[in-house]
Structure 1
Amino acid sequence: MKKLILLFSAAILVVLSACGDSGADGEIETIVLADAGWDSIRVHNSIAQKIIEEGYGYDTEVTSGSTAATIQGVRDGDINVYTEVWTDNIKEVYEEAIEAGDFEKVSVNFDDNKQGLYVPTYVIEGDEERGIEPMAPDLRTVEDLKKYPEVFEDPEDPGRGRIINAPSGWAVAEAINAKFETYGLDETMNNFMPGSDAAAVADLVDAYKAGEAWVGYYWSPTAVTAQYDLTLLEEPEYDEETWNETKATEFPPNDVVVAVHKDFPDQAPDVYEFLGNYETSSDLTEQALSYMDENDASPEEAAEWWMNEHEDIWTSWVPEDIAESIKESLN
């Protein structure tokens, strides 16, 4: 995630579409959703848009920007719906917005996501089919990494290892920095920040296809964690006090919620009711992301595929007559 975990700083909202149009009675004709820049939110937006447009007759638009900017957009009412708010990654801002009454949590989209430092499973277990021997059979924890600089050798600094951090500017990068110091990783390993998520993925995919060692930050649900056999390295069980002091625990549990602007329940009560039922899982989300990756599909195409595959799930979110209208529109 994740671009979802950007530090909250002053940001200019990049608006790709107009704000929702309000009718004379306060209701809206166009519902605006937030796109903070990662694939899973785009898939969930597309699922929601299909249901909102075909089932309830509203127009929809998407506003794109950073996490900070799009969250502010919801607080200001320029954005109506946010289908993936990673609450703990933006805990302070999220709690402040809820307490101020600026926006409302309406459902938990999924809560079984994970994030941290991953290695390809063959690094630990080997892969007989590919002829790969275990490279670090005793590797279990993040702290263990400092024992294996030769396995994860930095190509630009022989003798030291390299851990791929999140891109600079992501909030999670600061957490990884703290772990470097707390676990003593900086004794033998270099802290490498890629220029982008795409650069980190490219580095991982190149290493994986070559059967080479790789270690770095990633999260689920993503097409990457769905497609490749990766192992999340262990850390002590999450403890809030320890996390706040040193970050020397696993990442905090992270409810990923659907949220709306405070006025939305009155502006579109029928859609608000539907969103209150919106619930998936990391596995369900990764299925759509895998379809995108394997078929070079758009989020809209993945959403339609997912809705055809999981008709029993999304039809439970809406009344029967609404579900029938939507089913007629699906390819």
Structure 2
Amino acid sequence: MILKSGGIAAAIAVAFLSASSLPALAQDADAAACGTDRTIDIAEMSWPSAAALAHIHATILEQGYGCDVEIVAGDTVPTSSSMLTRGNPAVAPELWTSAIEEAWDAAIEEGTVVELSDAITDGTVEGWFIPAYVQEEYPELTTAEAVIARPDLFADPEDPSKGRLYSCPPGWACELSTSALFEAFGMEETWNLFSPGSGGALDASIARAFTREEPILFYYWGPTAILGKFPAVQLDIGEADVAVYQCNTDPDCDEPAGVTAYPSSPAVVGAAAWITEDAPAVADYFSKVGLTNAEISELLVYGDENQADAEATAENFLKTKQDVWTNWVPAEVAEKVLATLG
């Protein structure tokens, strides 16, 4: 075939552009590859949000990046300890570091672990709540003090002369902090501090009140399905004083209980340091996966309403929130994951 001079020039240009684009194509391929033959074990913590996140990330890494992934049982202290000393699990997708602050900070300083991102971008939530419909009727009820002054609105069904504050489940650290606040606010004469007996019983009491549109004052935390499902308003307790909070949650502290908001605990994507060295594409992926409290609470609503386990909850998120997670990955990775979802 004979090419005119213009055709020859065009052919050369195409060949040049094709050759010059090879590095970019190679970079895209690298970004879509796992980058390591080592198994990436992901800790599935014992609470619903962390468990669902473990399965979300496992699916994306396995199906999209071609990683060898294993989900392992975990919890804050044993998972972090193993990560610090043995380098596994490789990733903890929702690690609340306040309970392990000293050891975790030391390990970061030593370079044995890294924080790849905030798992919950706007921080964890903990405090006292009332229904939004109550605040709409009584807009002045924005602070704990304002609500405490109206026990008549939140009457205890078993003792209507006093209000009822639904406390944290027994045996949890928040039971101590809630009891301390109850004491610090001087609520004993006009309020009853009600122990729900269990987390399930607390959830049932909250759900019943919201279904009937009744007033309720309750302790709760997030992200959770309850806060995703029901429009609750967190009350202003003031500034968080870490020293006061630590005393309030320490049974051996001799200081009188003090008023303090519940500090927001950092919840991070924690990882063994080798991830950044052996699998930089995976580390880059985890640097983008942060979700807000509201987003995590929303994904948990599906699990709660459908009695779905963590794996099914994760699958529903991947199917229904493609606008969220596809921003975490290259287009090639997203396409591979989407293909497996049907």
Smaller-chain TM-score bracket: 0.7 to 0.9
Aligned to 2:254: none
Q: 8 Å contact 1:83–1:109 — kept in the other structure?
A: yes
Find the residue that maps to 2:119 and give its secondary structure: strand
Matched, 1:107 2:117: yes
Separation in structure 2 between the aligned mates of residue 92 and residue 169 of structure 1, nearest angstrom: 24
TM-score by length of 1: 0.76
Q: 8 Å contact 2:115–2:269 — kept in the other structure?
A: yes
Matched, 1:233 2:230: no
Q: 8 Å contact 1:145–1:185 — kept in the other structure?
A: no
Matched, 1:55 2:75: no
Separation in structure 1 between the aligned mates of residue 78 and residue 159 of structure 2, nearest angstrom: 38
Supply the AA of the counterpart residue of 1:194: P
Q: 8 Å contact 2:76–2:96 — kept in the other structure?
A: no
Shift of residue 75, structure 1, vs aligned partner: 2.8
Find the residue that maps to 1:143 and give its secondary structure: helix
Matched, 1:35 2:66: no
Q: 8 Å contact 1:175–1:247 — kept in the other structure?
A: no
Aligned to 1:197: 199
Q: 8 Å contact 1:89–1:171 — kept in the other structure?
A: no
Q: Quote the sequence identity (%).
A: 34
Supply the AA of the counterpart residue of 1:105: E
Separation in structure 1 between the aligned mates of residue 231 and residue 83 of structure 2, nearest angstrom: 37
Cα deviations across residues 185-215 of structure 1 (Å, max 9, x unaligned)? 2343333333332221111112222333322
Supply the AA of the counterpart residue of 1:212: E
- For structure 2, the 5+ residue unaligned runs are 1-35, 248-256
Matched, 1:300 2:302: no
Separation in structure 1 between the aligned mates of residue 99 and residue 146 of structure 2, nearest angstrom: 25
Shift of residue 266, structure 1, vs aligned partner: 3.8
Shift of residue 276, structure 1, vs aligned partner: 2.0
Aligned to 1:4: none
Shift of residue 93, structure 1, vs aligned partner: 4.9
Aligned to 2:73: 64
Q: 8 Å contact 2:155–2:164 — kept in the other structure?
A: yes
Separation in structure 1 between the aligned mates of residue 126 and residue 146 of structure 2, nearest angstrom: 18
Aligned to 1:73: 82
Report the RMSD for the aligned CA atoms in angstroms: 2.9
Aligned to 2:24: none
Separation in structure 1 between the aligned mates of residue 88 and residue 154 of structure 2, nearest angstrom: 46
Q: Please give the residue correspondences for 1:117-266 in structure 2 after superposition, counting only pairs within 5 Å.
A: 117-126=128-137, 138-157=140-159, 159-240=161-242, 243=245, 248-266=259-277
Find the residue that maps to 1:277 and give its secondary structure: coil
Matched, 1:283 2:285: no
Shift of residue 104, structure 1, vs aligned partner: 1.4
Separation in structure 2 between the aligned mates of residue 45 and residue 119 of structure 1, nearest angstrom: 31
Matched, 1:272 2:283: yes
Shift of residue 111, structure 1, vs aligned partner: 2.6
Shift of residue 65, structure 1, vs aligned partner: 4.6
- After TM superposition, the structure 1 stretch with the greater mean CA deviation from structure 2, 42-51 or 241-250, is 241-250
Cα deviations across residues 59-89 of structure 1 (Å, max 9, x unaligned)? 3333335433333333343422111123346
User: CA 1:87 to 1:216, structure 2 compared with 1: closer, same or farther past 3 Å?
Assistant: same
User: CA 1:195 to 1:33, structure 2 compared with 1: closer, same or farther past 3 Å?
Assistant: farther
Find the residue that maps to 1:61 and give its secondary structure: strand
Supply the AA of the counterpart residue of 1:327: L
Separation in structure 1 between the aligned mates of residue 66 and residue 199 of structure 2, nearest angstrom: 36
User: CA 1:256 to 1:176, structure 2 compared with 1: closer, same or farther past 3 Å?
Assistant: same
Give the structure with higher Rg (CA): 2
Shift of residue 240, structure 1, vs aligned partner: 4.7
TM-score by length of 2: 0.74
User: CA 1:65 to 1:167, structure 2 compared with 1: closer, same or farther past 3 Å?
Assistant: farther
Separation in structure 2 between the aligned mates of residue 151 and residue 237 of structure 1, nearest angstrom: 26
User: CA 1:283 to 1:187, structure 2 compared with 1: closer, same or farther past 3 Å?
Assistant: same
Matched, 1:320 2:318: no
Q: 8 Å contact 1:63–1:70 — kept in the other structure?
A: no
Separation in structure 1 between the aligned mates of residue 60 and residue 155 of structure 2, nearest angstrom: 49
Shift of residue 178, structure 1, vs aligned partner: 2.4
Separation in structure 1 between the aligned mates of residue 246 and residue 230 of structure 2, nearest angstrom: 32
Supply the AA of the counterpart residue of 2:263: P
User: CA 1:61 to 1:198, structure 2 compared with 1: closer, same or farther past 3 Å?
Assistant: farther
Q: 8 Å contact 2:46–2:75 — kept in the other structure?
A: yes
User: CA 1:147 to 1:264, structure 2 compared with 1: closer, same or farther past 3 Å?
Assistant: same
Separation in structure 2 between the aligned mates of residue 318 and residue 75 of structure 1, nearest angstrom: 28
